[in-house]
Structure 1
Amino acid sequence: MRIAFMGTPDFAVAALDALVGAGHEVAAVYTQPPRPANRGRLTPSPVHRRAEELGLPVRTPETLKGEEEKAAFVALDLDCAVVAAYGLLLPRAILEAPRHGCLNIHASLLPRWRGAAPIQRAILAGDAETGVAIMQMEKGLDTGPVRLEGRIPIGRETAGELTDALAALGARLMLDVLADLPGHPAVPQPDQGVSYAHKIDKGEARIDWSVPAMDIDRLVRAMQPSPGAWFESGGQRVKLIAAGPAEGAGPPGQFIGNDLVAAGSGAIRLLTVQPEGKGRMPAADWLRGRRLQPGDPV
C-alpha cells in the first residue's frame, strides 16, 4: 500500500519500522516539528530521526488546518494513513483523503482510556490489563470504530516498559489489518465503559504519603521514566525511580527502618532514588547519607 505515516514519540517508531519492513510504500512521514531540548537546542522527534535514517521524506507542519497543507496531503494520492501518537488534530479533509482513510494505533482497549495518556492512566487506575486498538479514525477524540485489538496483562511494569510492549504489539496488529482490510471490519465502540486519559500534569507526580502504599507504587511506575514521581526530603526534591509496596505501619511519611517509609496504609520500600542535582543511586545508600533514624520524617 501507498501510505503516509504520522507519529512523533518513541512509541511510534516500531510501527514505522514495521511498515517499511513489510514492503509498504511510505510516501511521506509526518511528525511534530523539532522542539527545544538538550539545553535549548532544537531536537527532531524520534520518528523524525528514524525516518531520515530510512531515507524517507519528512514533513513537520505546525498544523494541518491550512489549505496548502491539506492540498499537499491530498496530492500524495494515498491508500491509507497510519497514525501513532502524532499529536496534531486531523481535519476532516485529511481524514477522508486516503482511499481507506486513516488508521490509528491507540494504546488502550477502547472505549477505555480515550485521550492523551492511556498507558499512565491504566497503571494509575490499577487496571489488570491493557492493550492496543487499531481504530478507523473519525472526527471525535478516539471515538472511531475498531478493526482489531490485542491485550496484554499489566504486572509490575513501568509506563516506559509498558509503552515498549504496546508499541511492538501495535506494529504487529497494524500489519495484520493492512494485509486484509476486508477481513478486519470496523466495529463501532460500545457506549458503555468510556473513560478519558487526560494528559499527565507534572503536579500529579508528587508523592502523597497519606494514600495507600499500592497507590504510591502505581504512581511511581506510571511516572517512570517521565516526569518521575518525587518527594521532598531535607529541603531537596528526590525522585523515586523504583519502589515497591511492603508490610509496615506508622505515621505517613515517616521512616520506619529497612528502607521503608510509612504510607496511609502499608509501607513503601525505597529501591532507587535520584536526589536533586545527582545521578541515580540505591535508596539504601541515600538513606545512609541522610542518617535517618526510625521515626524521622523522610
Structure 2
Amino acid sequence: MAHPTPLRILFWGTRSTFSGAIFRALQNAGVDVCALFIHAPPAPWQSDLQPRRVAPFPFPQYEQAAAGNTNTHLAISLDLATATEPTFVAETRQLGAPVYDIFSLQTPELPALIRRLHPDVACVACFPQRIPSGLLRLPRHGFFNVHPSLLPAHRGPAPLFWIFRNGTQATAGGVTIHHMDARFDTGLMAAQAAVALADGISGPEAEQRCTQKGGELLGQVLDALAAGNLVSRPQPAGGSYQSWPQTKDFRLDTNWSARRAFNFMCGVAEWGTPFAVETAGEIIHLQRAIAYDADQKLPAPVRHIDTSLVELQFSPGVLVAQK
C-alpha cells in the first residue's frame, strides 16, 4: 500500500509557549514545515506600520524572491544568538526552514510569498489576528487552528482565562482543531477532546495540558488529511465569544462559590493583575488564592486573619487569600 505524500505545512503563531509546544508536536510527528510565520507587532518607536526587512535572507533559495523588495511588510529574522528568541524559532532556522515576522496581513507581498512556498495546509496556534479569506484559500487544504476550549464555548483570543472566570472547567476545558473561516473560531471541527483541569491548576499547567492534547489531535488531523479520509463537522449551535480581558474582568463576585473564586485566581495568577472583591462595604485587593472550604460559613462576610491573609464568605464556601 502506498504511503500518502507528506503535506507541506505552513505554521502560523507567536513567540509564545503555546505556539512553541504545538510546533514541537508537529516536528516530533515528522511533518514537512515549509515556513514559520510569526506575528510581529510594530516596535513602540515606529511611526507607522511599514515594517522592514530586519536582516538578509539566510537561505539562498529565497534571496531572489526578496531582491528589490524595498517596501515589504514581511521581515525575516536571522539572529540566532538573540537571548529573547524562543528556542523553537531558532531551531527552525537551523533546520533550514525560513522564519518570517509578519507585520501586516494586508500587503500584496504576503499572498505572493505564500504562493511561492506552495503549502498544502496551514496550521495555526495562537496567531492573534483574523486572517483574511483571500489568504485562507491559498493553501490547498486551507487553514486549521488549535483552540484551547471545547468549541463553540469560549471563542476568542483568551479562552483559558474565560474558562476559569466562568467556572466552566468541567464543561469547556479541552481542545478543538477547526477549519478557519472568515470569522473567529467558527469553522468546521476536525477534532475535539476534553482536557481535565483540576482544582487549583495554574494557567501555565492548564496550557501545557491543552497543548499536549492539541498537538496529538493536530497530528491525527494531518494524517487523516494526507490519507484523504478526514471527516469534519459543523459546530453545535450557540456558543460564546469573549475578547481580551480588561481590569474589570479580574473582579471577584461573592455570589460565586468559593471553589470558583479559588480556581479563577489560581488559573489566571500569571496575568499579574490584583483581584478586587467588594464585601461588607469595603473593596479588598487580593494577590493570591491560598485555599478554600466549600461548606464553611463565617459569622461575618470577611475576617482579616492578619495583615496579609483574609477569609471571605462566598456562596457557598469560604476563600482564604493573600492581600
Match of residue 4 from structure 1: 10
Structure 1 position 174, deviation (Å): 0.4
Structure 1 position 45, deviation (Å): 11
What is the alpha-carbon distance in structure 1 between the residues aligned to residue 38 and residue 188 of structure 2?
A: 24
Structure 1 pair 189–16 and aligned structure 2 pair: CA distance change class (3 A): same
Match of residue 267 from structure 2: 222
Which of 197, 200, 206 pairs up with 1:154? 197
Provide, for residues 96-126 of structure 1, a one-character-per-residue CA deviation record: whole Å limited to 9, x for no partner. 1111110110111111111112112112222
Contact 2:130/2:184 (<8 A) preserved: no
Match of residue 254 from structure 1: 303
Aligned with 2:287: secondary structure? strand
What is the alpha-carbon distance in structure 1 between the residues aligned to residue 32 and residue 256 of structure 2?
A: 51
Match of residue 51 from structure 1: 89
Contact 1:253/1:261 (<8 A) preserved: yes
What is the alpha-carbon distance in structure 1 between the residues aligned to residue 84 and residue 18 of structure 2?
A: 9
Match of residue 22 from structure 2: 15
Stretches of structure 2 that go unaligned for 5 or more consecutive residues are 1-6, 45-81, 278-282
Provide, for residues 55-78 of structure 1, a one-character-per-residue CA deviation record: whole Å limited to 9, x for no partner. 242111222111111211222110
Match of residue 157 from structure 2: 116
Amino acid at match of 2:205: E
Match of residue 99 from structure 1: 140
TM-score (norm 2): 0.72
Structure 1 position 150, deviation (Å): 1.1
Aligned with 1:120: secondary structure? helix
Name the count of aligned residue pairs.
262
After TM superposition, list the pairs within 5 Å mapping 1:201-220 onto structure 2: 201-207=246-252, 212-220=257-265
Identity across matched positions, percent: 27
What is the alpha-carbon distance in structure 2 between the residues aligned to residue 23 and residue 263 of structure 1?
A: 52
Structure 1 position 218, deviation (Å): 3.0
Structure 1 position 205, deviation (Å): 2.2
Amino acid at match of 2:192: E
Aligned with 2:167: secondary structure? coil
Aligned with 1:262: secondary structure? strand
Higher mean alpha-carbon deviation, 148-157 vs 2-11, is at: 148-157
Structure 1 position 51, deviation (Å): 1.5
Aligned with 2:124: secondary structure? strand
Provide, for residues 111-148 of structure 1, a one-character-per-residue CA deviation record: whole Å limited to 9, x for no partner. 11111121121122222141111101111111100011
Contact 1:48/1:58 (<8 A) preserved: no
After TM superposition, list the pairs within 5 Å mapping 1:234-273 onto structure 2: 239-240=287-288, 242-246=289-293, 247-256=296-305, 260-265=310-315, 266-270=317-321, 273=322
Contact 1:243/1:269 (<8 A) preserved: yes
Stretches of structure 1 that go unaligned for 5 or more consecutive residues are 38-43, 274-297
Residue 86 (structure 1) aligned with residue 127 (structure 2):
yes
Higher RCO, Cα 8 Å, sep 6+: 2
Structure 1 position 197, deviation (Å): 2.8
Contact 2:164/2:268 (<8 A) preserved: no
Provide, for residues 214-240 of structure 1, a one-character-per-residue CA deviation record: whole Å limited to 9, x for no partner. 3421330232211344359xx996521
Structure 1 pair 236–264 and aligned structure 2 pair: CA distance change class (3 A): closer
Higher mean alpha-carbon deviation, 56-65 vs 100-109, is at: 56-65
Aligned with 1:51: secondary structure? helix
TM-score (norm 1): 0.78
Higher mean alpha-carbon deviation, 193-202 vs 24-33, is at: 193-202
